[in-house]
Amino acid sequence: MAESGTRPDEPERFPRQGNMSSKQDLIQWENTSVETCTILSWLGYGQEIIQARRDAYRELGKLLTAQVCGKATLIIAGSKGEGLSSFLESDVDQMVVNNRVFCLEDDVKSSAFPGEITVLRSLSRRSYHGHCRLLLERRGTTIHRHVDDAFCDDGYGRELLSSDLYVNNCPNADLREGMVRHERAGPSIPSTWHGHFHHDKVHALHYYCPNILSKWAARPRHWPPTEVVQYVVSLGAFLTPVGFKGSEYQHVEWRVCFNAGEIELISNLNDTQTKLYVLLKMIKNDVLHPRKKEVSSYTLKNIVLWMAENNPQASFHKKSILQWLHKALDVLRVALVTLELPYYMIPERNLMATSGLDEEQQRTWISTITDMLNEGPRVILRLPKIRQCIVAHPEPLRWYSGRRIELELLRLMRMNRVVICWDENGEFDYTDAILQAIERRMHKVITDVRMRMRMEGSRVFNADDIDFRILM
């Protein structure tokens, strides 16, 4: 927050070598790695705050699911569900899964599903790996109109569920005062609430695919442990309404995803692996600056998952994080050179196949990553948040970090309490004692920050500005 008392010579503590050519170099790499892990914790990527975010967004999903009386299951996915972004740092990715429609692999029997459930059969022939078309096998007695109106003829008298029609037909019942809905982006419907809170909503379907999941589970691996593998399998899969770019069936294709399982996998990464993922996302945002998600956080997540699976867990520790960052960047560089990166859950699907990367950008990124690899541990000085922490005095940094984390925890508590305070008639209980106590404490934290900023001679913002700036 404050910029007084900086030490501009502090980055010189970081070694310049790109490779570890001596014992002294190794010690410098390890010391820098430990310091980097400490800084990331101060920045809000420690295990406790990450777990608090995961718990809060899992609870939010349950509360929202209860509001729709079992018609759908709501999952907070992406970096929010994984606990890896602060309150206003990124969009809230919300998946709404229709509980009255089930999609099945070819050889799975549909007789186990009650008559009110609509059953669809996946048809993966002529579709790219990880995608399929959906044939109607049985129309349920409780089928919703927006689903029924999304069927089209496949040319052979059979009914296909169109992904395009499904998205376009999705109801706007959740559009509230202060919310602006934006143009569709892939499978998602983006919106902004009160100009600050950005949401990406995806309407999805349950997909029962034991063959795909058993193939994933059977791979030899260092990680995750057997019980986690079994739990991920039990969470199943989903189908999102987006086809393979350029496919002749794109408007009727659906993409297989494993959002709930991937949240569980990320939750089982150790502290160093989690912070490695955070560093890679920082590099994407602050160094590569992709224009159209040619390299996305999802790309980087898959790199981390593959590295975790293929290497002993004990090799990921505080002293080794920058060595693993070096290896992960090299994997990314190879992916950019070859335009190949297998999807962690379905390796036959190439995540780079539809990246849309043009040759000029490809050359630029390969050159940039090569330069970063040659910089060794100093590569993290390219990241503004890391560099700012390095040159700041530790005591003010820790103080502001503590206030930021407390304010975020209060915001997460308030988020879920607000949902509880809405009744079935849409009336809001402003007198709720817990909500009022949370807001009083938030006001106290913001007041303390303003007072310290004023004492240090920093520019003082109004309360709302401080709230938003802290949580970005």
What global pTM score does this model have?
Answer: 0.91
Report residue 171's pLDDT band, with 50, 70 and 90 as the boundaries: low
Kindly give the residue spans of alpha helices, DSSP state H, lying in 104-225.
145-148, 163-169, 210-217
What is the rounded distance in angstroms from the CA atom of residue 151 to the CA atom of residue 126?
19
Name the packing angle between helices 463-471 and 433-455 (round to 10°). Answer: 90
Q: Is 90 exceeded by the pLDDT of residue 337?
A: yes
pLDDT, tens digit (0-9, with 9 covering 90-100), for 424-445: 777 889 899 999 999 999 999 9
Whether the CB-CB separation of 328 and 336 falls below 8 Å is answered with no
Whether the CB-CB separation of 249 and 134 falls below 8 Å is answered with no
Average pLDDT of the residues of the chain: 89
The total number of residues shown for the chain amounts to 472
Pairing of strands 179-181, 197-208: unpaired
The distance from CA 422 to its chain's CA centroid, rounded to whole angstroms, is 27
Least confident of 50-64, 176-190, 214-228: 176-190
pLDDT, tens digit (0-9, with 9 covering 90-100), for 186-208: 888 888 876 677 888 999 999 99
Q: Which long-range contacts (CB under 8 A, 24 or more apart) does 171-180 make?
A: 171/146, 174/201
Please provide residue 359's backbone torsions phi and psi, each rounded to the nearest 5 degrees. Answer: -65, -40
Least confident of 174-188, 240-254, 369-383: 174-188
Q: Is 60 exceeded by the pLDDT of residue 38?
A: yes
DSSP string, 241-267: S---TT-TTGGGEEEEE-HHHHHHHHH
Please provide residue 438's backbone torsions phi and psi, each rounded to the nearest 5 degrees. Answer: -60, -45
